[in-house]
Structure 1
Amino acid sequence: MSFMQEMDSLNTVQQQAIELATTEESLNMIQMLMKGGWIMIPITFLLFLALVIFFERYITIRKATKSDTGLMSHVKSNVMSGRLDAAISACRSSNSALGRMLQKGLSRVGRPIKDIEGAIENAGKLEVSKLEKNINILGIIAGIAPMMGFVGTIFGVIQIFREVEIAGGIDIGTVSGGLYVKMIASASGLTVGILAYIGYHALNMMVERLILRMETEAVEFIDLLDEPGA
């Protein structure tokens, strides 16, 4: 066998060893999490729920942010030209929060400015409530998940000391090993809580930026209608 062939064989063996070690490590992690007890079931469910809500809201808010790009300029040009139907059509075709808000204002053109402002404000509140849908659940998960982890750990500690009482003596190895296993529940609950907390505030920041943009566009729209000759 040549030197190059020997090196290839060695590299293959090393690669297989790395893959085997990685697989074993993954299995050990899963097995360790399963040792956290029955409390790991609701904690896992909370993690799944938090991920679903975060990604669904993230995609929705990002879509709402991108879909109204350039809408205000189209509406402004049509209003200045006296083509309200074209402006309403542009708002309707945008299918965005800003578009629906401006469409509500355009449908009130001809009425007092206060009425138009009220219609836009009400439409804006409705759109914001749609964007914020289910975000508060992330805040609830951020508070509940760590408490569930602590509950699991406390029940585990109670079980350990009950076994110690039955055995009639303290085995340091058994106690420390049991505590190590039961602390998995606390660590898992804290991890899920932190992730949900980060997701909750990240989504709220996105919504706040979108609200600021909508308010700016609404003020510009009202100023446009309030201009002489509009």
Structure 2
Amino acid sequence: MFHLLQVTTTPIVDSLHKTAASIPPVEEKISMWDMLQKGGFLMYPLYFLLVLAIFFFFERLIAIRKASKIEPNFMNIIRDNILSGNISAARSLAKNTPNPVAKMIDKGLQRIGKPIDAIEKSMENVGKLEMYNMERNLSILSLVAGIAPMFGFLGTIVGMVQLFYGIASTGEYTLNTIAGGIYTKMVTSATGLIIGLIAYVGYNFLSTQIDKTANKMEVASAEFIDILQEPTK
């Protein structure tokens, strides 16, 4: 009786083994946040640098776009007022237009009657101040672009220290022993490079926008000087 029972259950056991073997192993997934946490304490200054880069990028972007907005007919109206002798109307328009070009033109209007060289010099000084205002805080993006990869490199050193310390403490060179150091090394290095790249791209993009605005200022200044040299009506 026992023999018959044993023979009967053997195919069932084999079937269970085959079924278990056919089930694919479940892959363990890790979230991005959990992976970043494995970078250790050096991730916190990297987070701070990322916040700085994002904040000052958008702060400067809004300021530069506001400064670069110039009405298409602004210089035409200024020209008509100057040639008709209505300097007060030209100054009123320049004062009520909040952009660097208008401020330069207003300074030039204040100097009408003086030599052209003096007018150009005063307008140039205003242009330099406006350029400084547009470039203000832009150096922070450049600083983040340089510092963030260095923090990543520091994370590499810290990770290697953790790695060798773990090996020295346990006397074993196993995956579990080196995993912590490898995580710190790779996560901080990658994060630092990504943040540095974001800051670098943002810095160069804003610099390009400032150069475009500076070109508009130069064109307007040259046009204003030409208007002053035209005969009045």
Higher percent of residues as helix: 1
Partner of 1:3: none
Task: Output aligned runs, 1:43-82, within 5 Å.
Answer: 43-82=46-85
Residue pairs, 1:75-224, within 5 angstroms: 75-176=78-179, 178-224=181-227
Counterpart contact for 1:71–1:94, Cα < 8 Å: no
String of CA shifts for 1:134-172, please: whole Å, max 9, x gaps: 111111110100010110121121011111011122114
> 1:176 deviation in Å?
4.6
CA distance in 2, matches of 1:196, 1:167: 41
Compared CA separation, residues 225 and 119, structure 1 to 2 (3 A): same
Distance 2:83 2:199 in 1: 47
Letter in 2 for 1:103: D
Deviation (angstroms), 1:116: 0.4
Matched, 1:225 2:228: yes
Deviation at 1:69, TM superposition (A): 3.9
Taking the aligned partners of 1:160 and 1:82, their CA distance within structure 2 comes to 80
Question: Using the alignment, how far apart are the partners of 1:88 and 1:135 within structure 2?
Answer: 31
For the 8 Å contact 1:68–1:98, the answer to whether it is kept is: no
Q: Residue type of the partner of 2:124?
A: E
Larger Rg: 2
Residue 36 of structure 2 aligns to a residue whose secondary structure is helix
Give the whole-Å Cα distance in 2 for the aligned partners of 1:68 and 1:108: 23
RMSD over aligned Cα atoms? 1.7
Tell me, in whole angstroms, the C-alpha distance in 2 between the residues paired with 1:105 and 1:53: 32
1:67–1:95 Cα contact (<8 Å) kept: no
Equivalent position SS for 1:94: coil
What secondary structure sits across from 1:111 in the alignment? coil
Tell whether the 8 Å contact from 2:155 to 2:184 is kept in structure 1 after alignment: no
Q: Is the 8 A contact 1:149 1:190 kept in 2?
A: yes
| Contact 2:85–2:232 (Cα < 8 Å) also in 1 | no
Partner of 1:20: none
Give distance in 1, aligned partners of 2:225 and 2:118. 11
TM-score, normalised by the number of residues in structure 1: 0.85
- Give the C-alpha shift of residue 212 in structure 1: 0.7
* Distance in 1 (alpha carbons) for counterparts of 2:152 and 2:184: 12
Q: Distance in 2 between matches of 1:105 and 1:89?
A: 13
Alpha-carbon separation, structure 1, partners of 2:41 and 2:71: 47
- On the 8 A contact 2:142/2:199 being kept in 1, the answer is yes
> 2: CA distance between counterparts of 1:200 and 1:138?
6
Show structure 2 runs of 5+ residues with no match.
Answer: 1-28
